[in-house]
């Protein structure tokens, strides 16, 4: 009997033990398994009533029963209201990622258009992230491509500057954007501050949905200019109207009665689901995106799609702007709670509805069709991807299909601006939010030492992995590492990982064929003879795609760094030389090289340059 009492409680016994002490109050509960793994996070209006349902041992799906069986303990947090419980549940799911909850996999922020207001000449630009810069934000847009296209069109229409402040302050003559009629050149005062502010306000009104009024006003100005025989001005206004028309026409499926709304539609099939999201702002369709959340098998089949959408909405708006209207393809269980929670977050009323007629129903039906088609494509791709990963598993002798493949490559020109790139792929294809770049920092490397660069990249990547694992943090661990290179690169990689004690990850070197011919790649593995694959093998094509993607990413990162290096002005490094003084110096001497050749007596003649600063500038360019 004593031995029986000493046995730890598991499953239903654990739940029954907790139910006796739970309050009849709202809160959040966590079901915890072996080694402290959080299995499930849920919220309840009454913790006692909700948790007692698990203790009944009936009316559960197979997966709920399995979750209960794995439960070793439970944790509880009481809240004042059910709405607070809902918000806490959302935070905990995103933080703990329990395996029995529906999870939003891709929660990165959407790009927006920002009109900066913290400068005398407002700047239009693409923005992503928190709203920390003073100005007006317009979005979200479904993709960076959509933002870039719209910004380009708005530049043609409103001639707003997009350059950085440092470039703006250093200009002494109009740049190329002015020459191609995409900027009014406020940097060199070719437009008065009052006229420029009017352009800014017109852009603001257009993005706020007053496009028809803005275009009507411009059309009136064009007619007046034509009547006054100011044909050049009329032609410029005509071009601006055309640019605005292109923006309006590109935003297809523009609803008449929906000014600001997000439209969600979910389709589930075969244990997978797709949530399609459409964004409508200023009466225009600003794009859509498909999400494929991890589906919880704990959801009852009859409630699968509403349950998925219910869990998805809370996590989605944890980091996204919330509109005043949210349209759904299915009525969700917590609709009123979600609306109340969103109102608390935004400070304005948020309506959540499942439309049954009219234009709004058509928008939802269109989104649902897109969700159904996207899931069909995803399932077909997943089937093909699974076959490819099974082939990779066989080729490299892995114990199971790889869930995470990391591919590494370096890029530099004669050792300058050296960078390393890491791309990640898996069952869902390329995972671009997991890509990482590594600026080569070591000063001891010989320029062009590819082996040394690979050692630094891998040491930084896997030293961090070891540190996070020792701290008990959840960190992604690759099943397969591919190195762009042959025996030398492979040896460098194996040595680094052995030093760090990471000796249980398969590492493969992929060497290009003679004359860098695709199809003649050789594969290097520790302790094995190099080998090749059949030239027309689908596995070879897949591995080539991985290597080429790593190469593309590394090259792109290198080009960005090289461009930044080329545009850096030495005057930026001198203490006391701000944008105004830099502009005065460049205006006086023509370039940074001209400044470097000037004497201290010449420098002090420039407005704003004191004798002490002139000596500092003179000494900066002549230091050893």
In a domain, 83, yes or no: yes
Count, residues in the chain: 624
Distance CA 142, CA 610 (A): 51
Q: Indicate whether 245 and 287 sit together in one domain.
A: no
**Among candidates 395, 405, 408, which has minimal Cα distance to 427?**
405
**Among candidates 332, 382, 319, which has minimal Cα distance to 95?**
319
Q: Write out the residue range of the structural domain in which residue 179 sits.
A: 112-250
| Backbone φ, ψ for residue 190 (5° rounding) | -80, -10
Distance CA 191, CA 194 (A): 8
Distance CA 565, CA 554 (A): 17
In a domain, 315, yes or no: no
Distance CA 279, CA 251 (A): 11
- pLDDT for residue 518: 60
Q: Indicate whether 275 and 326 sit together in one domain.
A: yes
Q: Indicate whether 432 and 341 sit together in one domain.
A: no
Q: Indicate whether 347 and 265 sit together in one domain.
A: yes
- Strands 73-78 vs 429-430: parallel, antiparallel or unpaired: unpaired
In a domain, 398, yes or no: no
- Residues 596, 570 contacting (CB under 8 angstroms): yes
Residue with tokens 């520790």: 526
CATH number of domain containing 501: 3.30.420.340
- Cα–Cα separations (whole angstroms), residue 130 to 114, 133, 591: 12, 8, 37
In a domain, 279, yes or no: yes
Token pair for 131 = 């709203």
Please indicate, yes or no, whether the overall pTM of this predicted structure exceeds 0.75.
no
Distance CA 114, CA 128 (A): 9
Distance CA 175, CA 162 (A): 11
Q: Indicate whether 141 and 218 sit together in one domain.
A: yes
In a domain, 392, yes or no: no
* Domain final residue, candidates 96, 127, 158: 96
In a domain, 107, yes or no: no
CATH number of domain containing 43: 3.40.1440.10
- Residues 169, 583 contacting (CB under 8 angstroms): yes
Q: For the chain, what is the domain count? A: 5
**Among candidates 287, 289, 369, 365, which has minimal Cα distance to 327?**
365
CATH number of domain containing 604: 1.10.150.20
In a domain, 314, yes or no: no
Residue with tokens 């930084």: 460
- Residues 178, 153 contacting (CB under 8 angstroms): no
Q: Indicate whether 123 and 69 sit together in one domain.
A: no
Cβ count within 10 A of residue 163: 17
Residue with tokens 């000449």: 121
In a domain, 577, yes or no: yes
- Cα–Cα separations (whole angstroms), residue 102 to 99, 302, 516: 8, 16, 45
Q: Indicate whether 368 and 431 sit together in one domain.
A: no
| Backbone φ, ψ for residue 405 (5° rounding) | -115, 125
Q: Indicate whether 132 and 75 sit together in one domain.
A: no
Q: Indicate whether 338 and 358 sit together in one domain.
A: yes
- Please, which residues have CB within 8 angstroms of residue 442's CB and are 6 or more apart in sequence? 452, 456
* Domain final residue, candidates 70, 96, 122: 96
- Residues 170, 160 contacting (CB under 8 angstroms): no
Q: Indicate whether 201 and 74 sit together in one domain.
A: no
Mean pLDDT of successive 10-residue stretches along the chain, which has 624 residues:
52 85 89 86 90 75 82 88 85 84 72 88 87 85 75 82 86 86 89 89 79 72 77 75 60 63 89 87 79 72 79 85 91 90 88 90 90 82 82 90 91 72 89 88 73 89 87 82 90 90 90 66 91 85 90 83 65 81 81 82 88 88 68
Distance CA 322, CA 346 (A): 7
Q: Indicate whether 22 and 128 sit together in one domain.
A: no
Q: Indicate whether 585 and 500 sit together in one domain.
A: no
- pLDDT for residue 204: 84
């Amino acid at each position: 009997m004593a031995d029986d009492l000493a046995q730890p409680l598991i499953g239903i016994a654990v739940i029954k033990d907790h139910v006796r002490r739970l309050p009849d109050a709202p809160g959040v509960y966590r079901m915890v398994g072996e080694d402290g793994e959080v299995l499930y996070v849920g919220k309840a209006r009454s913790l006692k009533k909700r948790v007692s349902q698990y203790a009944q041992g009936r009316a559960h799906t197979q997966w709920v029963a399995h979750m209960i069986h794995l439960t070793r303990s439970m944790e509880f947090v009481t809240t004042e209201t059910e709405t607070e419980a809902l918000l806490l549940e959302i935070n905990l799911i995103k933080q703990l990622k329990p395996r029995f909850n529906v999870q939003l996999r891709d929660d990165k922020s959407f790009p927006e258009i920002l009109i900066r207001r913290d400068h005398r000449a407002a700047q239009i630009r693409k923005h992503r992230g928190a709203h920390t810069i003073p100005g007006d934000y317009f979005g979200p847009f479904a993709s960076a491509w959509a933002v870039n296209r719209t910004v380009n069109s708005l530049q043609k229409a409103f001639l707003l500057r997009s350059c950085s402040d440092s470039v703006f302050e250093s200009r002494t003559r109009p740049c190329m954007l002015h020459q191609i009629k995409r900027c009014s050149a406020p940097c060199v005062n070719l437009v008065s501050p009052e006229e420029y502010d009017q352009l800014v306000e017109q852009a603001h009104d257009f993005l706020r949905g007053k496009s028809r009024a803005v275009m009507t006003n411009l059309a009136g100005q064009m007619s007046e200019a034509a009547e006054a025989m100011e044909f050049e001005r009329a032609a410029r206004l005509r071009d601006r109207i055309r640019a605005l028309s292109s923006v309006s026409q590109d935003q297809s499926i523009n609803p008449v009665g929906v000014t600001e709304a997000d439209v969600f539609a979910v389709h589930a099939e075969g244990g997978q689901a797709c949530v399609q999201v459409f964004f409508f702002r200023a009466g225009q369709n600003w794009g859509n995106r498909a999400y494929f959340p991890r589906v919880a098998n704990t959801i009852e089949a009859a409630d699968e799609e509403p349950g998925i959408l219910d869990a998805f909405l809370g996590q989605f708006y944890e980091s996204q702007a919330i509109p005043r209207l949210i349209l759904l393809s299915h009525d969700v269980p917590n609709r009123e709670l979600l609306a109340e929670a969103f109102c608390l977050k935004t400070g304005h009323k948020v309506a959540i509805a499942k439309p049954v007629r009219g234009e709004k129903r058509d928008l939802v039906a269109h989104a649902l069709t897109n969700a159904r088609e996207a899931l069909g494509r995803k399932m077909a791709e997943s089937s093909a991807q699974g076959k490819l990963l099974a082939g990779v598993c066989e080729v490299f002798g892995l114990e199971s299909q790889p869930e995470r493949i990391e591919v590494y490559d370096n890029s530099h020109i004669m050792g300058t601006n050296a960078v390393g790139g890491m791309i990640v792929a898996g069952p869902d294809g390329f995972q671009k939010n997991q890509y990482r770049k590594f600026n080569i920092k070591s000063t001891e490397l010989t320029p062009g030492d590819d082996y040394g660069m690979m050692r630094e990249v891998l040491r930084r990547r896997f030293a961090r992995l070891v540190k996070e694992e020792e701290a008990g943090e959840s960190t992604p661990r690759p099943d397969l590492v591919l190195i762009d290179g042959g025996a030398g690169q492979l040896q460098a990689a194996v040595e680094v990982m052995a030093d760090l004690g990471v000796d249980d990850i398969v590492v493969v070197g992929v060497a290009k064929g003679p004359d860098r011919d695709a199809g003649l790649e050789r594969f290097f593995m520790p302790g094995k003879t190099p080998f090749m694959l059949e030239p027309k093998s689908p596995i070879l094509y897949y591995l080539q795609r991985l290597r080429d993607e790593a190469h593309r990413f590394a090259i792109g990162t290198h080009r960005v760094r090289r461009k930044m290096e080329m545009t850096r002005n030495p005057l930026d490094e001198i203490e006391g030389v701000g944008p105004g003084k830099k502009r005065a110096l460049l205006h006086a001497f023509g370039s940074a090289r001209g400044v470097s050749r000037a004497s201290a007596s010449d420098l002090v003649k420039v407005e704003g340059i004191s004798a002490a600063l002139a000596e500092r500038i003179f000494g900066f360019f002549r230091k050893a």
